[in-house]
Structure 1
Amino acid sequence: MLTGWIVYNGHLPGDKFLDYAKWIRDAASRKEMEMDVYPNHHLLSLLGTGKSDIVEKDILPDFVVFGDKDILLARQFEQMGVPVFNSSFAIEACDHKGLMYQLLAQHSIPIPKTILGPKIFPGTKEIDAESFQNVCEQIGFPLIIKEAYGSFGEQVYLINSQEEMFDKLKEIQGKPFLFQEFISSSYGRDVRLNVVGNQVVTSMLRYADDDFRANVSAGGHMKPYEPSKQEKDLAIKASQAIGADFAGVDLLFGPNDEPIVCEINGNAHIRNIYNCTGVNVADDMINYIIEWFARKEDK
């Protein structure tokens, strides 16, 4: 019988991250699999010359479902030969939006026009305004500024003028960021598709009454959505581009309703989409892991 661990971040406020872990554990128990839930700070990485261990854990699981962004811990498991779903590479690619868009562009995935912000160290007294004229010329206003690290629609800003742009850059100074084309045809609405392996298992339309963001956690609404073949294929291709086993792919509606990838979430929470569609993505995730090990044994 396969055994697994589920890792979540124990220092984040609220219980949604622990809730995610428990949903995975419950899905595993329905398959008579034993899974233990751990906050990441209970799994400390121990390093020595030619040595990688987890402190006070002599017996390791067959696999780890990683519901966190503690990339070094995920990599520690991989170095010890434990398969991690999603891999440390996929976690990192989703965690830093700049890296994510670089990978999507490399794989010819349609994305909004994006300019990666230069690194500005904290404490810089003056931002070179001239260097950002190209942003205005290439993208125009309104535009989006995104901090490279952010979740649930937070750290995403709609900017309407050059003055607003410089005010926001001063406010987020020292944080990695990027500029992005604002897809006005998708104002306040997007589609979340949950991808497991090479299949879209469920999807929902998210929409907001008075916000350019459609995130449910930011006050948006949701309803079941039947994606087109084009939308499904794009979501799967985007997920594969960043090497994810499981992903929540958010698509925008382009000017002619053509799908455009907004973001990929490597740790997409699954309670909301269950409440919306009745599909428990955790069951599909566990089935995928079981099939992954079966394929490995057949080789």
Structure 2
Amino acid sequence: MQIPAPQAKKVPRILLVTAGIDRHARELIRAFGDRGAEIRVVELAAIGFDTGAPHGLAIPGFPDALPDAVCLRTMDAGSFEQVTRRLGVLHALSRVGVIVSNDAKAVENCVDKSTTSFLLARAGVPSPRSYAVETRAEAARLIAREARPMVLKPLFGAQGKGLKLIAAEADLPAESETAGGVYYLQHFAGVATNGRFADIRILVSDGRVVAAMRRESAGWITNIKQGAEALPMPPDPEFEALAIAATQAVGGDFCGVDLLRDEAGRAQVIEVNSMPAWTGLKRASGKDIAGIRATDLLARIAATGRSAAAAAEPLAAS
């Protein structure tokens, strides 16, 4: 009786997409390598469309095949046309059978804060009432009608940059001074306790909560990049359930969700981030975030039972 020779174990191929080799990218490179994956690092801007290629894409480091998964760390900044093309690349990778995490739709749903607010409301996830309009007159009308402080945020923004607390019409900037000519306004839900503001960041991966922290600051902006302190956060089933629901609402699989309790004590989701950083979260929770990220993505590859190259159909010959 002839015993078949054992097949060589397939090495997962990971494409790490990042705008730069920062601390997070280095941690991910090490985490995937420690788990036996083959990893290539590339900026999203460097991936091109090529309709003469077998799968319609030109991916540095993958001349004749496709990666099994894309781990999206950060996207490069660029013009509207450049960002649109890069999101198109992520959409195309999903279409040809590559696991993309987070995929383009989740990124679009989170990068545009007005879409995030819309999806949270549609899913019944409690979140401060939000508006997005394109004229100062309409924004002023909303401020007068609501008669309460509101936060003006860049529609596309992160790390607490460009936030402004609006208490009256006079606080509104001119249309030429807004980010892209859009007024995205959200009810201010922050509450100071003993002169300090706080909120919660919960990290959701593969449908479960994997880490959490409490962020405290002397000011109402509680982002770590703006000087807030990262503190341990004990388990909170209500916050955790909302974080999971918010991640599902935007279609994400690895998201950082910001939450707080308003003055009435109600839990509220403030934002959902599809490309979250984790320096403060790692320090506060003691969790190996990069290791969790790598383990979960490799598990998704294993669950498919086949490679992207086998799953994808080449473009039809012209």
Q: What do residues 265-291 of structure 1 show as CA deviations (whole Å, max 9, x unaligned)?
A: 101112221122210112112221222
**How far apart are the structure 2 equivalents of 1:133 and 1:38?**
44
Match of 2:12 in 1: 2
Name 2:260's counterpart in structure 1. 252
Root mean square deviation, CA, Å: 2.3
* Runs of 5+ consecutive residues of structure 2 not aligned to the other structure: 1-10, 76-85, 307-318
User: What SS class does the counterpart of residue 251 from structure 1 fall into?
Assistant: strand
Displacement of 1:55: 5.4
For residue 45 of structure 1, report the CA deviation from its aligned partner: 2.9
Tell me if the contact between 2:55 and 2:96 (Cα under 8 Å) persists in the aligned partners.
Answer: no
Partner of 2:300: 292
Post-superposition shift, 1:168? 5.1
Unaligned runs of 5+ in 1: 121-126
Q: Work out which of the residue numbers 183, 189, 198 in structure 2 matches 1:183.
A: 189
Matched-pair contact (CA < 8 Å) for 1:5–1:63: yes
CA offset digits 1:63-118 (Å, max 9, x no partner): 10012244223123223321100111001111110111111111011010111213
Contact 1:66 1:74 in 2 (8 A): no
Structure 1 residues 142-161: aligned runs within 5 Å: 142-161=149-168
1:39, distance to aligned residue in structure 2 (A) = 1.9
8 Å contact from structure 2 (residues 155, 179) kept in 1: no
Conserved? CA contact 1:74–1:87, under 8 Å:
yes
1:115-194 to structure 2, matched below 5 A, reads 115-118=131-134, 127=136, 129=137, 131-165=138-172, 167=173, 169-172=175-178, 174-185=180-191, 188-194=197-203
After superposition, residues 64-103 of structure 1 pair within 5 angstroms as 64-69=70-75, 70-103=86-119
Q: TM-score, normalised on structure 1?
A: 0.86
Aligned-pair CA distance for 1:296: 2.4
| Residue number in structure 2 paired with 1:281 | 289
Shift of residue 47, structure 1, vs aligned partner: 4.5
**Does residue 1:60 correspond to 2:66, yes or no?**
yes
Query: Does the CA-based 8 Å contact 1:52-1:79 persist in structure 2?
Result: no
SS state at 1:255 partner: coil
Relative to the length of structure 2, the TM-score reads 0.81
Letter aligned with residue 234 of structure 1 = L
Higher relative contact order structure (alpha carbons within 8 Å, sequence separation ≥ 6): 2
SS in 1 for 2:128: coil
Length, aligned pairs only: 281
Supply the distance in 1 between the matched residues of 2:190 and 2:73 (Cα, whole angstroms). Answer: 32
Indicate if the aligned counterparts of 2:144 and 2:169 stay in contact, CA closer than 8 A.
no
Structure 1 residue 293: Cα displacement: 2.6
